[in-house]
Amino acid sequence: MVGAGQLARMTHQAAVSLGQSLRVLAAQPADAAALVAPDVVLGRHDDLATLGRFAVGCDVVTFDHEQVPTEHLRVLAAEQVRLCPGPDALAHAQDKLLMRQRLAGLGVPVPPFREVTQPQDVESFGAEYGWPCVLKAARGGYDGRGLWMLTAPAEARQVVTQLLATSVPLLVELRVAMHRELAALVARSQFGQGAAWPVVQTVQRDGICVEVLAPAPALDSELAQSGQQLALHIAATLGVVGVLAVELFEMPTGELLVNELAMRPHNSGHWTIDGAVTSQFEQHLRAVLDYPLGCPAPRAPACVMANVLGAGAPSGMVLDERLHHLMARYPQAKVHLYAKPERPGRKIGHVTVCGESLVPVRQVAVASAAFLASGAWPDGHPVHARERETA
Ligand SMILES: Nc1ncnc2c1ncn2[C@@H]1O[C@H](COP(=O)(O)OP(=O)(O)OP(=O)(O)O)[C@@H](O)[C@H]1O
Ligand SMILES: [Mg+2]
C-alpha cells in the first residue's frame, strides 16, 4: 500500500487475519502504519524510481491516498505492475474536475460546475447560478483543504487570481442547499463481484467528517437502494477494483447528487470494523487480491463512528489516562487510535458504538470521542451515577 497513514494501519490489521503481509511506502518512520507493519519502505510517493522499487515483489499495489502522480501510475502499469485501482479509474478520485466531467457525461447527477482558468469564469458562473459558490482545487485537496466558499464577485476575483498564480487547477460549483450528506460505500473485486454496505449519513464540521451514522437514519429505503446501485454502477463503469466511497448530497427534493469519489477505504466506512460482518479494510484486500467478497451486512441496528480530532489544549490528562477513564465509563465503546501526535483538528483516532437504537448510541460515541480528544465530557452529557456518588 502506497501511503502509511491510518488507512494503511487499519488495512494492515485486516491483512494479519487473512494471512497476508502488507508492505507500506511511508514518508516517515513514525507514520501510523510504519509503526506497526512488518515491511516498511521509506520514500516519496511522488518519485517514480521509489515507486518502482517499492512494487518489486508485491502481488498487487494499492493506495491509502490519491496523491501519486497519475503519469507515474501509467508508467508502472505499462511495466506490468498490478495496480488496484488502476490509473484509468483512480484518475477520477485524483482530479475533481475530471470526475465531475465524467460523471456528468454518464448522466450521474452532480452539482452544477465549471472549470476555472481565469477569474471571469467564477464571476460569470456566479452571475448565472447565484452566490455563494464553492471554489475547489481539482487536485490535492482533503479534509476541506483546497476548498473556498466565495460569497461575492470581488472576493472571487481576489482568491482566484492568487490561486491561479500558483498554478492550482480549479473548478467552481454551486453551493448546494442539501438536506444532509450521505455516503455509499461499495467494493468491487478484480473478478467484477460487487458488495454494498448500508448507505450512511456523514456529519461534517469545518469541512472535516466528524461523525458517521450507520445506517443513515430515516432514509427512504428506495433512495438508500438507489444510492447503493449508483455506487455499484460507478464502480463497474470506471473499472474500480477495491473499495469505492461515493460521497453524496441528499437534496430536499429527494434527489442524490454525487460530491466526491474515493477509491480506497474511507472515513465513512470506519464503522464497518466493529459494525459490519466484513470491514472495509478486509473487503479492500479481498477485492484487490481477487478473493470472493465478504458479507457487508450490519451487525447491529444502529452504529455510530465519531472521529477523535486533536484538541487545542487537552486537559492535564495524557491520552492514555483519558483512555482509561473512557474505558471505565463506556465498556461498549470500541476505540481505535492511530498513534499520531495530537495536533489541533487532526484525526488521531475514532470511536465506534453499536446498539439497538441511534439516539443513545450516538450520544455515547460522540461524548467518547470528545472526551478522548479533550479530557472533558461535553456540556450537558449526563453524569454517571457512580461519578455522582463520588462527587
Ligand atoms: N457544492 C457544494 N455545496 C455545498 N457544500 C459543499 C459543496 N462541495 C463541498 N461541500 C462541503 O465541503 C465538504 C468537503 O468537500 P469535498 O469533499 O469536495 O472536499 P475534500 O477536502 O476533498 O473532502 P474530504 O474530507 O472528503 O477529503 C463536503 O463534505 C461538504 O460539506
Ligand atoms: Mg469529501
The tens digit of pLDDT for each residue in 278-295 reads 999 999 999 999 999 999
pLDDT band at 384 (very low <50, low <70, confident <90, very high): low
Q: What is the amino acid identity at position 144?
A: G
Residue 143 scores a pLDDT above 60: yes
pLDDT at 387: 54
- 257 bridge partner residues: 249
Q: Whose CA is nearest to atom 5 of ligand 1?
A: 175
CA of 165 to the centre of ligand 1 (A): 23
Q: From the CB of 204, is ligand 1 less than 6 Å away? A: yes
pLDDT at 145: 84
pLDDT band at 309 (very low <50, low <70, confident <90, very high): very high
- Considering the entire predicted model, what is its pTM? 0.96
pLDDT, tens only, 331-371:
999 999 999 999 999 999 999 999 999 999 999 999 999 99
For residues 295, 65, 241 and 114, what is the CA-based torsion angle, rounded to 10 degrees? 110
Q: Indicate left, alpha or beta for 380 from its phi (over 0: left) and psi (-120 to 50: alpha).
A: left
Average pLDDT for 16-36: 97
pLDDT band at 144 (very low <50, low <70, confident <90, very high): confident
Residue 388 scores a pLDDT above 90: no
Q: From the CB of 94, is ligand 1 less than 6 Å away? A: no
Lowest mean pLDDT among 133-147, 217-231, 295-309, 346-360: 133-147
Q: Whose CA is nearest to atom 1 of ligand 1?
A: 175
pLDDT, tens only, 233-252:
999 999 999 999 999 999 99
Residue 314 scores a pLDDT above 80: no
pLDDT band at 385 (very low <50, low <70, confident <90, very high): low
- Grid cell digits, residue 60: 498487487
Q: From the CB of 207, is ligand 1 less than 6 Å away? A: yes
Residue 33 scores a pLDDT above 70: yes
Q: From the CB of 247, is ligand 1 less than 6 Å away? A: yes
Q: Which ligand is nearest to the CA of 181?
A: 1
Compute the Cα dihedral for 383, 384, 388, 390 and give only its sign: negative
Q: Whose CA is nearest to atom 30 of ligand 1?
A: 207
Q: How far apart are CA 324 and CA 273, in angstroms?
A: 22
Q: How far apart are CA 85 and CA 369, in angstroms?
A: 32
Q: Whose CA is nearest to atom 22 of ligand 1?
A: 142
Cβ neighbours, 10 Å, residue 388: 9
Average pLDDT for 167-177: 95
Residue 389 scores a pLDDT above 60: no
Sequence length of the chain is: 391
pLDDT band at 390 (very low <50, low <70, confident <90, very high): very low
pLDDT at 181: 98
pLDDT band at 324 (very low <50, low <70, confident <90, very high): very high
% pLDDT > 90, the chain: 92
- Grid cell digits, residue 57: 515483489
CA of 227 to the centre of ligand 1 (A): 18
Average pLDDT for 247-269: 97
pLDDT at 207: 86
Q: In three state form, how does the secondary structure of the chain look?
A: CECCCHHHHHHHHHHHHCCCCCEEEECCCCCCCCCCCCEEEECCCCCHHHHHHHHCCCCCECECCCCCCHHHHHHHHHCCCCECCCHHHHHHHHCHHHHHHHHHHCCCCCCCEEEECCHHHHHHHHHHHCCCEEEEECCCCECCECEEEECCHHHHHHHHHHHHHCCCCEEEEECCCCCEEEEEEEEECCCCCEEECCCEEEEEECCEEEEEEECCCCCCHHHHHHHHHHHHHHHHHHCCCEEEEEEEEECCCCCEEEEEEECCCCHHHCCHHHHECCCHHHHHHHHHCCCCCCCCCECCCEEEEEEEECCCCCCCCCHHHHHHHHHHHCCCCEEEECCCCCCCCCEEEEEEEEECCHHHHHHHHHHHHHHHHHCCCCCCCCCCHHHHHHC
pLDDT at 391: 41
Compute the Cα dihedral for 243, 249, 252, 256 and give only its sign: negative
- Grid cell digits, residue 195: 458488495
pLDDT, tens only, 70-98:
999 999 999 999 999 999 999 999 999 99
C-beta separation of 20 from 284 below 8 A? no
Residue-averaged pLDDT of the chain: 95
